[in-house]
Structure 1
Amino acid sequence: METLLICGFLTDVCVHYTSADAHQHDYYVRILRDCVRGSSPEAHQASLNAIKYLQTASDTDSAEIIGLLERLAVRSA
């Protein structure tokens, strides 16, 4: 299974449906919560909750991903 990192605007539309499609195609989904925004705070949070319902480990942020990529780069060097 592959992992898809998702960021972008309109958590309650584009991000939500992209993550649902990815889930249906057997991808692990990681939403960079500091790199997404919704049409309203309530819609944003509702979509993050729905995504997390499908994939409990979906919640992450850019610092965590950058740290992971740096560790992978060091290992492969």
Structure 2
Amino acid sequence: MAVPSIPVDRIRAEARELRPGRGLLTLLFLIPFLLGWSVGALWTGLAWMWAAVVAGYRQGAGRTGAAQDGEAR
């Protein structure tokens, strides 16, 4: 069984073409993006949950959200 040869020259050429600055910039911008996306998703989830709690409370209290019998909100 023949052992495949390792293309050292090709690997060396690709390694020379790498630009560490681009990878660093990607990480630099990826972290705030993911953080902002996570905070936005959390905020949306909390807003939906709060709206569901308020709707459930109003339904359980017998109110539909509109003032009944002249009562103020």
Larger radius of gyration: 2
Query: What TM-score does the superposition give when structure 1 sets the normalisation length?
Result: 0.23
TM-score between both structures, scaled by the size of structure 2: 0.24
More strand by share: 1
Q: Greater helix share, 1 or 2? A: 2
